[in-house]
Chains A and B, each alone.
Chain A
Amino acid sequence: MAFSSLIFLYIFLPLALLCCWLAPNQWKNAVLLGVSLLFFAWGQPKGVLLLLVSLILNHYGGLWLERQSTKRSRRMALAAGVAGNLLLLCLQYPAFTVRNSPVIMGLSLCTLQGISYQVDIYRREVRAQGSFITYGTYAAMFPKMVAGPLTRYGELRGDLARQSFSGAQAVTGFERFIVGLSKKVLLADRMSELRAQIQAASQPGAAVAWVGLLAFSLEFIFTLSGCSDMAVGLGKMLGFRLPENVNYPFSALSLKDFWQRWNVTLFAWLRDYIYRPLGGSRNLLRRIAATLLCAVLGGLWYGRKGNLLLFGLYSGLMLLGEHFLWGRTLEKAPKPLRRTLTMITVLLGWVFFSAESAPDAFRYFGCLLGLHGLEMSKALYLVSCYWLILLLCLLLAGKWMYLLLQKLEQRFPRLKKALSITVALLLLCCCTACLLSGSPVPSWITRI
């Protein structure tokens, strides 16, 4: 089930909130788990079995790992747990050659959380959770099943033990959810339409191709950011403090900065569970290998296609280039220039990301270079059809709006409170109107 659907907004969510809020304290986790399984089963009933396998594997694997006393047996238990999770991941991503194979939304997230849970127990950073229900609630709670955030068990342990209802938190959560919904439905979906129109032309001219690339980047970031906001908002309504997943990536001053901002929890996971264990900061060779591996895995996280592998490789090489070659020179440049150069590097990488396949990506590079003409009049026409949405996206991509709202809250707290709920209801109305004609779910979301 997608958050941006009428069924979720008007049937599932009110009932789920009601069940979770009214449940007695000792039943809260069980109710949330049940509701989450229902959410997961909607549209992918067979996937529930795989999800349950993942939950059982990690819960009992964690308990078994904790019981091991010798270093060798702990290592063996960890290896078994990680291997089990990787096997589940392979079921999710059968092969590079299998096209249109069924994918189960949210299962990859559960798998990575399972691996981090096992490793954290191995490192003695957390104690294994004794209750299957509590572990299941942590791993499969529905707010984070659509595009994350990826959470560690340690982050939610406190909230899992004490979920209390707070009216103020519920209102703040609702407002945050609506902000995310609006980003997805009112901005990202419009950009998706613009991109689809451009992609429908087999060989767009250079100007049109650049507009298409800009539309894709805005669609991608606002979808991810919208999903993150919705997850954080839902979490607040249910009494959980979920981490932020997107941190104004268009404000990034370098590629490394960008990678730390556009999917915060995924790259923190890659850093803590792959980059550092591989000794990425120890010597040159290891740094190169670990950076490339993390970037490639970061790309493959969004799908098992060749173009995403190339996206990872491109990003890895650019990150290494920035670190070893042009990073210091770039630091001396003025901020606007640094932002512009970073965005150009990112946009070029997204050519690989947005394409259907690797050859398509190279063909699109040809279009960007003007191999099929310029088509300036068409580009201007398309921009004129979406000018307000493009402008809003560019304005909201920066941090200034957030800072403005913060100042407003400090100076006029009551006005801000009244405005927030009114604007949220108005935005909900607009989103509902748009949702009647559907809201596309990008294919990369279904693969996470």
Chain B
Amino acid sequence: MKEKRRPSPLLCLLLASIPAAVLLAAGQTARADGESLQLPSAAAVADRSAMEQTEDWLADHFPLQSSLTAMHTRLELLTGRREVDGVYVLSDRLLERQGTIPEKTVSLSAQAVSDFATGFRGAVSLMLVPGAESVESDLLPAPAAPASQKTIIDRAYELTAEKVSTIDCYSMLSADRERYLYYRTDSRWTSLGAYLAYSACGKQMGFTALSVDRMDVVHASHSFRGNLCRRIQYNGVEPDTIDIYSIPGDDSEVHLQVYDGQCWSGHTGLYFREYLEDDGYSVFLGPDQPVITIETDVRSAPRLLILKDSWANALAPFLTAHYSTITLVDPALLRQPLGEFIDMDSYDQALICCSLSSFAEEDWAENLNRLGS
């Protein structure tokens, strides 16, 4: 038989269509979420980061990404795995695996907190929130249970004790761990978990926390599938309920000024119900933004600065009853010194509130130092 020396046009078309289809589909997804692949700089090409970024971008925007991720999760579970991409899949809930918390970065972050407190004129409080993996470790098989985060939190508190007052959130959450403190499908705490933390804050920060019996609880959503669900595209556990706590008869108005990294915009009210369908947790103060300022009706009350990660978004609504102004700053998102946005001296108190895993991230200390510079 005569050997065919050239591929058929159909095969060529098929080969050419693979990269075209992948790039076109990825480009469409990118435009839909407002993100587009920028041309890398020469320096980025030289230090390999451009290639890594391109590969990450392609993975994030790959056609059928959600279906393929769901398939990956199913495959992993089929082979006996109980943990997929850092998420434990238990019979009735998901749990984020935070792994070993590096002591070195915790020490660096603690040092950054002390430095910040030295430069701040008012009282500074620190509240490190443990992950569900640590508080509810009894849900995991014994060999997979992590070391308690309490030891590391206590160590961070010891290192900062001279400059800041510390808030023991761990004990409060542990004592009530049978209750609905953490979402089943999200890595963060529920409104009840945030309320317990608020109660703990009151003792240290000099206000009396409102009793939960005085509040109305509104079930804003019963179909919340959180960040853990989205990460592994697994819908095998019951969706969560998002609760909003409010004081009956309280008709005070709250105004939000939000800085998204480019410009400021104004909103009325603390809750963004339009996000309930999409990313339910964003109902609290909207999506993560570098700076959010809350103006309340409590005119004579002190002013509070909160340096935080997204966990504090569910906590802030409780604090509005005790402060005239609350400014929330996310050090991971704000790229400029804080002094360019606000007058730090006008604040009476500062609260640093974040999860222990955020606090232990490598760039946490650097971000905090940049804010204070």
Contact = CB atoms under 8 A, between A and B. Distances in A.
B85 interface: yes
A378 to B, nearest CB: 4
Interface in A1-20: 1, 5-7, 10-11, 14-15, 17-18
Contacts of B22: 10-11
Contacts of A167: 4, 7-8, 11
A248 interface: no
A437 B52 CA distance: 13
A377 B143 contact: yes
A44 to B, nearest CB: 7
A387 B12 contact: no
A433 B79 contact: no
Interface string B24-57: 0000000000000000000001101001101100
B7 A430 contact: no
Contacts of B78: 388
A437 B55 CA distance: 11
B80 A387 contact: yes
A221 to B, nearest CB: 19
A434 B72 CA distance: 6
Contacts of B338: none
A387 B78 CA distance: 10
Contact of A200 (B8, B59, B65, B100): B100
Interface stretch (B13-21, B126-134, B177-185, B243-251): B13-21
Which bucket holds chain B's interface residue count?
Answer: 35 or more
A189 to B, nearest CB: 11
B7 A433 contact: no
Given A11-B23, A46-B46, A434 B18 contact: no
Nearest to A163: B5
B77 to A, nearest CB: 10
Interface in A350-402: 375, 377-378, 380-382, 384-389
A166 interface: yes
A45 interface: yes
B94 to A, nearest CB: 16
Contacts of A432: 62, 68
B3 interface: yes
A190 B79 contact: yes
A190 B72 CA distance: 12
Contacts of B303: none
Contacts of B65: 436
Main secondary structure of the interface of B (DSSP, over half): helix
A190 B52 CA distance: 21
Contacts of B369: none
Contacts of A382: 143
B48 A433 contact: no
A378 B143 contact: yes
Given A15-B19, A45-B45, A388 B4 contact: no
Interface in A163-192: 164-167, 170, 190
A45 B43 CA distance: 11
A385 B6 contact: no
A110 to B, nearest CB: 20
Interface string B50-88: 011011001100100100110110010011111101000
Contacts of A64: none
Nearest to B4: A167
List the 3 shortest-distance A-B pairs measured between CB atoms, nearest first.
A381-B143, A378-B143, A433-B72
Given A10-B22, A21-B6, A388-B79, 4 more contacts: A10-B19, A22-B12, A381-B142, A435-B59
14 contacts: A6-B55, A7-B55, A10-B58, A14-B15, A14-B16, A14-B18, A43-B51, A165-B5, A167-B8, A378-B143, A388-B78, A433-B75, A434-B72, A437-B72
Interface of A: 1, 5-7, 10-11, 14-15, 17-18, 21-22, 42-46, 164-167, 170, 190, 200, 375, 377-378, 380-382, 384-389, 429-430, 432-438
